[in-house]
Structure 1
Amino acid sequence: MRVPDTTNVGRIFNSNLTYKKGAAVVHLLRYLCHDDARFFGVLRTYQRQFSGRTARTADLQRLFEAELGQPLDYFFQQWYRGEGFPAFGVRWNQVGGSLFLQVAETASVPASTPFFQTEVEYLLTFLDGSTRTVRLNQTQASQGFAVPVSGTVATIAVDPAGWLPDLPGTVQRDNTLVLAARAASAPALALFPNPCSNSLSISNVNEQVEAQVCDATGRVVLRQVLPAGQPTLATATLAPGLYLLRLLSSAGEAVAQGRFVKE
């Protein structure tokens, strides 16, 4: 692996940062290829081209880029030059034939590598004992996914084969993701003033509803029953930030939603 200080013998021969990390990065390239024939083919080409010569990491990167048909600057920046590991916090819920996941990634050394862009495998175990592995591409720190399923999911495991050098994360079921999924197609609300301070007015509410306010992580931080008409939501207790407001009918269906900023 890359050694910033070549006069530091301890760093050059560091077991974790040089030998183990080097093996882990090559293992990740194999995972990225998702095809052993392609992966080992690149290694044979690398060996053949540079046998008896000096080779650099950039040479290896170039060969894998040619094989995969995509730039890999992000990969080598985060895994080779960067430091730390990701951890994944997963909230999930199932609505009929759709499995919803909300994945929050955190990095162990954010000053060096604040985010790791990577595909992540999830092992779905169903009530009948069958299993299925899905691979989802994590392209941002907080990301939602919808996966079609044909059975009832009982449990979910993250990175079951241990491809990623990740830290232990969390997996929990969250029934509020059902509401988020339903709200995705709900009509937009007219909210004012926006940004707001102590209160937020809502236009054209046709029935009594329950207002749910979610923060940037999807957590419900405020609930309030609102009458029909042009009700006012009390926002004084909210911390400054961006929020999603959902209005739910008495049957629990999302009837409208909108975003607002609390100053």
Structure 2
Amino acid sequence: MNLRTLLWFFISLLIVPEILAESAPDTSGFDIKYLRLELNASDTSAFISGKAVCKSLITHDLQNICFEFSEKYLVDSVLVNHFPASWMHQNNLLNVYGHFTADDLFESEIYYHGNAGGSGFFSGITNKKDAQWNIPVTWTLSEPFAARDWFPAKQVLSDKIDSSEVILTVPPWCMAGSNGVLAGVDTLPDKRVRFHWKSHYPIAYYLISMAVANYQNYTLYARPYGLDDSLPVVNFVYNIPSLLESSKKDIDRTKDFIEYYSALLEGYPFPDEKYGHCLAPMGGGMEHQTMTTLSNFGFLLVSHELFHMWFGDMVTCASWSDIWLNEGFASYGEYLALNHFEGKESADAWMSQAHAFAFAMPEGSVYVPPEEADNVYRIFNYNLSYKKGAAILHMLRMETANDSVFFKALRDYLQRFKYSVASVNDFINTFQQVTGKDWQYFFEQWYYGSGYPVVQIEWQQIGNHLLLNIQQHGSSSKTPVFRFSLPLTFYYPGGDSTVTIRIDQAEQSLAINFPRRITGIAADTESDVLAKVTVIPMDTSGKYLLIYPNPAARKVALDFYTKDVNRTITVISLSGQVIGKLNSRESHLELDVSHWTPGVYVVMVTENNIRYAARFVIP
């Protein structure tokens, strides 16, 4: 023990806090390098006892270190560098006092016990019986702000813990799952069992986990891309033989998911450790690093949580405003898995449902503004962060129109921010660099913007000329116009063809040369484009408008059958060029066409909610 440590010990005992507690946690000034949790736990209660050992680097001089920690726990003692320290535990904050000097490493040991168990999905620690299998389970879920409900935490996303250990002592009938590799299992003299989990990969505070129950271990092995050896897939399943037998097929599919995702993204993020699952009656799943906690082994849940190992765990969102990088991407992982293993029809059905969730929130934005980033239910809004988030990522892929470039951009993003954090702007910058294209417009409307486009397309075919009149508005006035590509399928006797058009204005006209007689047009929005699109033939019945003379040499007259109605009149050529546009309430108009180029022209009219068209010829 050196002199500096002894001096620090005496100084810390003399420091007395000037205020009882801070109104908001200030957990700055130190960088956590290592965390070890040594806890006693059981499957019948959320009560835990033990200690948290934290090694940190001081980044600037401090008089106290602040951890977030639930007041439901009693702190028994605090040591700093193995000596007792002054501390105060109040308002869910644990302040440890002393003289902390910049660039010093220090170790804190916090001994505590108590029960902060809750019943909601976002409770930090929960004890509950799985009603279906009559198995009690204790598990943790720290995302986004609940790590403090089971250990003293620095809940700052940018401060990843460099390495960690979770050592859990449980009753003899229990097993305990956590992050990393199982370094040892010891039976104690009182028959309790100690599980020692260890990880050397950086980890965000909310991904530290434990799950305790009467489990059995079912381990299989995957061969991820780029890994010479096999990767263990460790599954802690309730110790009920019939459950394991009925679940094996679904569990075994995890191996296929790992191999597919790792090939797509060129590697598994934690190759020296494992992947795995712990069952718990949580009503969903949580992507705890290397060992997901989940309530079942369904296709979508398993694929979603696994994809988080890349998007969320290896690269973590830099702030909760950037949650799209976690949940939107993991949701898209579901789509990718469906497309690869079940086929395009299943994937398209999934995306169509994702669109329906987005359509249910016409004012919604994927972006979570900072003032809403402390609201758990806004951060994890299923319609926006998950489903719309996946839909716009798919649209980005469609707009890129090159899968090799799109997935290279994803891989470059992962490598650039590997084992760290990233913001949406970081992703945008990476994507632009890889594709060599400016994508700001895309993110301004689809990510930061609100709602989705509502489009009406009217069409008319004159010989080989197909005229399209396109009008769009945003479901939200905050984003009135969107720019995007829209595939249209043209149906004709004996077949169909798909043509992609570009929509980028509130109103536009397009002319397409198409030699076959079109019987119908449909927009392919179910699976690729997040837009509500209506396609209808133009009304050319003549019941609203009479044009004469036709052909017209010098003047053409327009007689409208409805009187005193405000209408918008647009004249376009067969090339799609807008010749003129005006608003009028007159029921009779005359156009001077003496200097117009000979050809066929179409008059398109909008009045109230009615749209119709007629054509005339200049010989």
Corresponding residue SS for 2:391: helix
CA distance in 2 between partners of 1:124 and 1:154 (Å) = 8
CA positional deviation for 1:149: 1.1
Q: Which amino acid is 1:152 matched to?
A: R
TM-score for the superposition, normalised by structure 2: 0.30
Match 1:118 to one of 475, 480, 484: 484
CA positional deviation for 1:64: 2.1
| Matched pairs, number | 204
CA distance in 1 between partners of 2:385 and 2:457 (Å) = 31
Q: Deviations over 1:166-220 (max 9, x none)?
A: 12x32211165xxxxxxxxxxxxxxxxxxxxxxxxxxxx9767433686156799
Please, which runs of 5 or more residues in structure 1 have no aligned partner? Answer: 177-204, 229-246, 256-263
Q: Which amino acid is 2:493 matched to?
A: L
Q: Which amino acid is 1:172 matched to?
A: I
| Native 8 Å contact 1:107 1:116 kept in 2 | yes
TM-score for the superposition, normalised by structure 1: 0.68
User: Is residue 487 of structure 2 the alignment partner of residue 134 of structure 1?
Assistant: no
Q: 1:8 to 1:122 in 2, by over 3 A?
A: same
Q: Which amino acid is 1:37 matched to?
A: S
CA distance in 1 between partners of 2:526 and 2:390 (Å) = 16
User: Is residue 517 of structure 2 the alignment partner of residue 152 of structure 1?
Assistant: yes
Q: 1:68 to 1:145 in 2, by over 3 A?
A: farther
- Counterpart in the other structure of 1:215: 568
Q: 1:217 to 1:88 in 2, by over 3 A?
A: farther
- Matched residues, percent identical? 31
Match 1:94 to one of 450, 458, 461: 461
| Native 8 Å contact 2:525 2:531 kept in 1 | no
Q: Deviations over 1:86-106 (max 9, x none)?
A: 111010011111211011112
| Native 8 Å contact 1:123 1:160 kept in 2 | no
Q: 1:50 to 1:225 in 2, by over 3 A?
A: closer
Q: Deviations over 1:124-145 (max 9, x none)?
A: 11122x1111111111110111
| More displaced stretch, 155-164 vs 214-223 | 214-223
- Counterpart in the other structure of 1:78: 445
CA RMSD of aligned residues (A): 3.1
CA positional deviation for 1:159: 2.4
- Counterpart in the other structure of 1:170: 534
CA distance in 1 between partners of 2:499 and 2:390 (Å) = 25
- Counterpart in the other structure of 2:423: 56
CA distance in 1 between partners of 2:559 and 2:435 (Å) = 45
- Counterpart in the other structure of 2:159: none
CA distance in 1 between partners of 2:384 and 2:415 (Å) = 27
Higher relative CO (Cα under 8 Å, sequence separation at least 6) belongs to 1
| Native 8 Å contact 1:212 1:220 kept in 2 | no
Q: 1:113 to 1:215 in 2, by over 3 A?
A: same
CA distance in 1 between partners of 2:589 and 2:472 (Å) = 33
**How is 1:10-89 mapped onto 2 (pairs within 5 angstroms)?**
10-89=377-456
CA positional deviation for 1:155: 0.8
- Counterpart in the other structure of 1:181: none
Q: Which amino acid is 1:127 matched to?
A: P
Q: 1:221 to 1:173 in 2, by over 3 A?
A: farther
Q: 1:118 to 1:61 in 2, by over 3 A?
A: same
CA positional deviation for 1:70: 2.3
